[in-house]
Amino acid sequence: MFKIEHDILVAAVKKAYRGGWGKYKDEEDLNEIASSYVGDMDDELYENTIFRKDFAQTFWRDDTITVIDKTYTIYRNNQSTTIIEQEPLTYWQYQLQKMVISPDPLQYLAQFLPTN
């Protein structure tokens, strides 16, 4: 894992912890927890972390639920249209779906991190 990817993952873990993913005493403790958690994480382990439901819920924590439109249109071969109705999505569910299909999930997460 490259340093920039490591830094993004550490910042994402810290944001999820602040959202309620885990307990910490203070910012120093949080820095230690996040750095230790990420450590020498390989690609499989980081994906198993960022694609977890509980991680997404706390990373994209929002007290208000954003309902995404239930109707989707799918075009096949520019000829037919299929309408699929789906249960409304919360904000974190919508963002998790977008991250999963993103070509670079870590970069997708990065856009939601504070810039210092």
* Residue 70 near residue 87, CB atoms below 8 Å: yes
107 against 1, higher pLDDT: 107
pLDDT tens digits along 19-75:
888 888 888 888 888 888 887 667 677 778 889 999 999 999 865 565 555 555 555
What is this structure's pTM? 0.71
The residues pairing with 71 across neighbouring beta strands, listed in sequence order, are 85
CA distance 1 to 45: 11
Position 99 scores a pLDDT of 92
Sign of CA dihedral 73, 76, 77, 80: negative
Rounded Cα distance between 11 and 39, Å, is 13
pLDDT above 90 as % of the chain: 21
d(CA 8, CA 41): 13
pLDDT the model gives residue 7: 87
